[in-house]
């Protein structure tokens, strides 16, 4: 058994081979990179679909993953392709694959149901056949609905088809655990941001337009709150969940601060040293009013911690976008 990092406790009988789906995405690529740095063997899978995320940007990320130590990339659509084409010996699964975003989920439900539910169903069946040691199902604060404030006992009440499909995927994963003992744990991410953020996400769009000297489109009053989770912290706790999470348990993965969108805009303005021009619009359909996840369970079980505050994290994202012309 190889040692990769003293902060990660290995409880497996063999060297792990970790399958990461959605590997070319914002969070998936960060998880794969961190796994590689820690010395894991990784099977990185992505369908390289377009949609909200420009396919060209995903292809570049996927090609970058190919050069990482211990990483084997596979272009594969979980909805339709044969999963037996993947390498044998997979011991752990991190299912990051999903169709993200709220707005499009209202107009293309078939896309969201196939990517977020049907693909998950096929992967769960495969994982059962592989007899994996842990299946980490990635979910979202959107399952809670308008006000995602509290711990994991907060009732779920999604207000978008995106949130509904992600909640259905949670139920499906837990059904496999109850039926066959598949060792499933669920992570509900809250507002992940930082270098590498998707181009359709708010902070990336705010910074991009501010750097270009263009007006920023703000939907709603800006007093919507978020418990922003920095990307490095998100990747670290996701990997920790492979070995520390309790089977059948759900974990909130959220930032330590509740900050408004207006707070974030003020931070961006201060970092750039320029006055932002803001166009205000009605709230987006399916948007959340407040998110502030209680992470006590994740801190206790997964040793989850926060490395930066929003000011520091946004400065890093601004630097990344400047460097990459984004």
Active centre residues (catalytic): 162
Q: Which of 187, 194, 184, 185 is CA-nearest to residue 295?
A: 187
- Count Cβ atoms within 10 A of the Cβ of residue 88 and give its class: 0-12 exposed, 13-18 middle, 19 or more buried: exposed
Number of residues assigned to the chain: 326
- Whose tokens are 């369970």? That residue is 297
Secondary structure (DSSP) of 4-55: --TTS----SS--EEEEESTTSHHHHHHHHHHHHTT-EEEEEE----TTS-H
Give the C-alpha separation, 62 to 46, whole Å: 8
**DSSP-H helix ranges across 74-160:** 103-107, 109-113, 119-130
Q: Tell me if residue 179 falls in helix, strand or coil.
A: helix
């Amino acid at each position: 058994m190889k040692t990769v990092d003293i902060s990660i406790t290995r409880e497996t009988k063999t060297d792990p081979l970790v399958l990461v789906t959605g590997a070319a995405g914002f969070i998936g690529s960060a998880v794969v990179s961190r796994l590689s740095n820690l010395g894991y063997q990784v099977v990185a899978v992505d369908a390289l679909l377009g949609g909200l995320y420009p396919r060209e940007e995903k292809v570049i990320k996927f090609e970058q993953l190919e050069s990482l130590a211990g990483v084997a990339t596979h272009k594969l659509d979980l909805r339709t392709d044969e999963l037996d084409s993947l390498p044998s010996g997979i011991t752990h699964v991190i299912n990051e694959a999903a169709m993200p975003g709220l707005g499009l989920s209202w107009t293309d439900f078939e896309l969201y149901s196939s990517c977020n539910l049907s693909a998950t169903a096929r992967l769960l069946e495969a994982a059962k056949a592989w007899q994996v040691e842990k299946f980490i199902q990635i979910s979202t604060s959107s399952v809670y609905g308008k006000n995602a404030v509290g711990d994991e006992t907060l009732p779920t009440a999604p207000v978008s088809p995106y949130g509904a499909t992600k909640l259905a995927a949670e139920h499906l994963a837990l059904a496999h655990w109850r039926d066959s003992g598949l060792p499933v744990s669920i992570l509900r991410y809250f507002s992940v941001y930082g270098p590498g953020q998707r181009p359709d996400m708010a902070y990336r769009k705010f910074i991009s337009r501010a750097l270009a000297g263009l007006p920023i489109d703000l939907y709603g009053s800006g007093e919507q709150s978020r418990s922003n989770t920095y990307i490095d912290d998100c990747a670290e706790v996701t990997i920790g969940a492979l070995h520390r999470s309790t089977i059948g348990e759900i974990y909130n993965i959220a930032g330590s601060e509740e900050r408004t969108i207006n707070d974030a805009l003020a931070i961006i303005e201060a970092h750039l040293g320029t006055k932002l021009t803001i166009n205000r619009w009605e709230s987006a359909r399916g948007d959340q009013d407040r998110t502030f996840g209680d992470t006590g369970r994740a801190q206790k079980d997964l040793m989850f911690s926060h490395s930066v505050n929003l000011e520091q994290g946004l400065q890093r994202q601004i630097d990344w976008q400047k460097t990459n012309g984004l």
